Amino acid sequence: MEEARDLILSHISPLPPREFLLPEAVGLVLAEDAVATSPIPAHDNCAVDGYAVRWRDVEGASPGAPARLRWIGDLPAGKSPELSLREGEAIRVGTGAPTPPGADTVVPVEDTRLEGVEVLVLRDPGEGANIRRAGEDVREGEVVLRAGRLLWGPDLGILAAIGKWRVLARPRPRVAILSTGDEVVEPWEEMGPGKVRDANSYMLAALVAEAGGVPIRLGISPDRNEPLEELLKRGLGAGDAVIASGGVSMGAHDLMKEVLSGAGELRLWQVAMQPGRPLAFATASGKPVFGLPGNPVAVFVSFHVFVLPALWRMAGREGSPWRRVRLPLAEPVRRKPGRAYFLRAKLIDTPGGAALTLTGPQGSGILSSCVAADAIIVVPPERTVLEAGAEVEAWLLPPSQVRVARRPVSLPA
């Protein structure tokens, strides 16, 4: 399984970066260092509504012995100071207003009383209080975000704050998804005898979107070469990667291997794992093509084991999509040797702490075993006998994700 994953990843590269407007960049990986060309705040400014003063004039003020200052004018946010402050004077300021020259402290309005043109300061706020210094958040020349950063809310805030409204980032991987099988029908279609509804492509489209990709559903191909080749070709045209499901086993109607070999280079077939054994991986037109098995549980597992790390790499993300935990099994598990098992499990509370229990029958057609799952237990090939209480590695579900990007709000003209 690990060998297969390494082989697949060796054929995956990060998508080339391009320029994005800021609102489109959420969920993308930054491909450049973002450097502040000016400080934040740009100038010293007032942190509260109140009166800019010289601290020495209000030192020791109290309700019983207020300091009395002369109100000489107003400075709201967004205006540049016209007045400078001299001894015994106060300028009424708004939050965000530049600190008037001569002032070193701002007294919050609630600690003052205005009587005519006299400001009574009822409390000493302390020297330098309520002044925000230029550059105290970000210094000029500082790298605020490094290349490789997955952009989220505060990142976009700070990019906007440094005036960076276009960023170089890696695009979301576009992933074409197709289903195969003479028996597979769309969910709204008549079932008919022997038919099965296409669970896979809807599941895959959702998983791709949650992983930060753009899913492109191509539909269903019957088990015949020409339509399958045609759909694959469309997928290669539309996507940065293609995911197909079904038709990779050893049945007479399993054409995927042949079609993949025809369209490109078949790199891999069959992995020592369960579910997901008959996985095929190819490259065609320079793009990765995943031939996942048809069973929905195998699709779910092999997406997480192989496709998700590939999408991460294409998106330029670092690290692992997995939040791994080691927890005891609540029940014994027996497996055959020679292959890795991926069991779907629920997290439960026990008197001894958190534990994992299987989500019922684990057959590869039992999609409800995935619906109920909080985690995927990874059982390595050599562990065939697991007693209750044995520690196992599990991957928490859902993996670290980027939620589907909403349509970006538009920039003002």
Give the binding site for ligand AMP (CB under 6 A).
179, 181, 183-184, 196, 198-201, 245-249, 251, 293-296
Q: What is the dihedral of CA 281, 283, 289, 291, to 10 degrees?
A: -30
Q: How is the chain split among helix, strand and coil, in percent rounded to 5?
A: 20, 35, 45
CB of 160 vs ligand AMP, minimal distance in Å: 43
CB of 238 vs ligand AMP, minimal distance in Å: 19
Cross-strand pairs, 45: 98, 132
Toward Mg ion, which CB reaches closer, 239 or 246? 246
- Rule CB under 5 A: say whether 293 interacts with Mg ion: no
Would you state the structure tokens that stand for residue 391, as one six-digit string?
Answer: 């520690």
Would you state the structure tokens that stand for residue 101, as one six-digit string?
Answer: 């020259």
CA distances from 219 to 16, 100, 179, 232, 289 (A): 28, 66, 6, 11, 16
Toward ligand AMP, which CB reaches closer, 66 or 181? 181
The option from ligand AMP, Mg ion, none interacting with 369 (CB < 5 to 8 A, set by class) reads: none
CB of 203 vs ligand AMP, minimal distance in Å: 8
DSSP 148-170: TPBP-HHHHHHHHHTT--EEEEE
Cβ density class 167-204: b for 16+ within 10 Å, e for less? bbbbbbbbbbbbbbbebbbeeeeeeeeeeeebbbbbbb
The option from ligand AMP, Mg ion, none interacting with 183 (CB < 5 to 8 A, set by class) reads: ligand AMP
Size of the site for Mg ion (CB under 5 A): 4
Site for Mg ion in 351-410 (CB under 5 A): none
CB of 197 vs ligand AMP, minimal distance in Å: 7
The option from ligand AMP, Mg ion, none interacting with 389 (CB < 5 to 8 A, set by class) reads: none
Chain Cα centroid distance, residue 64: 56
Please enumerate, as own/partner, the contacts of 214-219 that have beta carbons within 8 Å and a separation of 24 or more: 214/172, 214/173, 214/174, 214/175, 215/175, 215/177, 216/174, 216/175, 216/176, 216/177, 217/177, 217/178, 218/176, 218/177, 218/178, 219/178, 219/179, 219/186
CB of 177 vs ligand AMP, minimal distance in Å: 10
CB of 258 vs Mg ion, minimal distance in Å: 13
Toward ligand AMP, which CB reaches closer, 256 or 358? 256
The option from ligand AMP, Mg ion, none interacting with 161 (CB < 5 to 8 A, set by class) reads: none
* Residue linked to tokens 């550059």: 135
Toward ligand AMP, which CB reaches closer, 204 or 284? 204
Residue closest to ligand AMP when measured from CB atoms = 294
Under 8 Å between Cβ of 315 and 212: yes
The option from ligand AMP, Mg ion, none interacting with 196 (CB < 5 to 8 A, set by class) reads: ligand AMP
Q: Backbone phi, then psi, for 95, in 5-degree steps?
A: -60, 130
CB of 175 vs ligand AMP, minimal distance in Å: 16
Given candidates 215, 247, 291, 399, which one binds Mg ion under the rule CB under 5 A? Answer: 247
Toward ligand AMP, which CB reaches closer, 196 or 396? 196
Site for Mg ion in 137-196 (CB under 5 A): 181
The option from Mg ion, ligand AMP, none interacting with 295 (CB < 5 to 8 A, set by class) reads: ligand AMP
CB of 303 vs ligand AMP, minimal distance in Å: 13
Q: Backbone phi, then psi, for 305, in 5-degree steps?
A: -75, -40
Toward Mg ion, which CB reaches closer, 215 or 246? 246
Toward Mg ion, which CB reaches closer, 119 or 220? 220
